[in-house]
Amino acid sequence: MTVTSGETHPSKDHKMLYITQFVNGQRVQETYLVRKINVGKTKAGKDYWNVVLSDSTGTIDGKIWNPAEPSIGNFDELDYIAVSGDIQEYKGELQMIIHSASKVDPSMVDQADYMPSTKKNINRMFGEVLELVNSVTTPYFKELLLSFYDDPFLATEFQKHSAAKTVHHSFVGGLLEHTLSVTKLCDHFAQHYHNLNRDLLVTAALLHDAGKIFELNDFPANDYTDEGQLLGHIYIGAHLVENHCDKIEGFPVVRKNELIHCILAHHGELEFGSPKKPALAEAIALSFADNLDAKMETFFEAATSHAVDGNYYHWIGFNKFLDSNIRKTSPEGFEGMIKT
């Protein structure tokens, strides 16, 4: 929602009206993010605009029948606009007939209202990442990690980025949340299997998806960059980390190669885009942690988005990433009930 006052710019204590709250017949005055603009023609041959509006909860089609009217200001895709409109049902879907629209400065809105975001606290998670960095005792690894987390650009992007365009962790803070989870799993693996080199494994885990900062745009776009599509986050990250290593005095070459190997091999299989299969125990452990976290998050996101009616344990259907039909486990006390 916008953080300034005015007719179309609600005051700070104004409660944001989210798109999923709309009902048929409602009149709406609120600020939304413009995802797409298409120009159509009415049967009478007049231009009209179809505008996809979004916030963090979803999207809605908006119609501007008279784009030339003075109440309709100039705006473009990925702008925020304050709109006044009416909600109507059309062919079973709600849409908004937009009467007025004016561009709002991004600084005036709380972007969290417009982008799906991690449910966890970003500052607290980043604090946990820094604690893990500090727990690394090998000097050259710690220096390498600090060269990332002390870099203002990288540190900021690392906290804001999603970890994917669609699949799992595709929200603000997703890269941070996924990286922290994978690193904590790796930390545990290093306790469970004493033969693992903890500092190598934790460093590789913290940096394994660094290339995603350049593979995906920032929100709100959150789409693949040209570089990302051509090169992929595995190469981008390995290349970036290797160049960081080369600036650190005394970084052993053998250890650098082991670290870069872990990053290159973290997808586990050639057909998943790793140019090398894991050859080191740490590379195997990292690929398991990464894959497990992706699968668990995918599962729980699918299960959450499918929750209906207090019925917690129906079949969710086929999940492409998990390559299986999935179902929630029945909760305690409900073992006798099942809806198939």
Between 38 and 156, CB nearer to a second copy: 38
Give the HSE-up count for residue 209: Cα atoms under 13 Å, Cβ half-sphere.
29
Between 150 and 221, CB nearer to a second copy: 221
Of 108, 125, 234, nearest in space to 173 by CA: 125
First to last CA, the chain: 40
Closest contact distance (angstroms) between CB of 57 and a second copy is: 21
CB–CB of 168/302 below 8 Å?
no
Between 30 and 199, CB nearer to a second copy: 199
Closest contact distance (angstroms) between CB of 149 and a second copy is: 23
With vertex at residue 160, the alpha carbon angle to CA 209 and CA 224, rounded to the nearest 5 degrees, is 60
- Contacts of 183-188 with CB under 8 Å at 24 or more apart are 183/129, 183/132, 183/289, 184/128, 184/132, 185/289, 185/292, 185/293, 186/285, 186/286, 186/289, 187/132, 187/135
Closest contact distance (angstroms) between CB of 58 and a second copy is: 19
Closest contact distance (angstroms) between CB of 52 and a second copy is: 16
Q: Name every residue whose Cβ is closer than 8 Å to that of residue 301 and which is 6 or more positions away in sequence.
A: 168
Closest contact distance (angstroms) between CB of 50 and a second copy is: 10
Of 198, 160, 164, nearest in space to 286 by CA: 198
Between 16 and 264, CB nearer to a second copy: 264
Between 107 and 329, CB nearer to a second copy: 329
Closest contact distance (angstroms) between CB of 267 and a second copy is: 9
Between 24 and 134, CB nearer to a second copy: 24
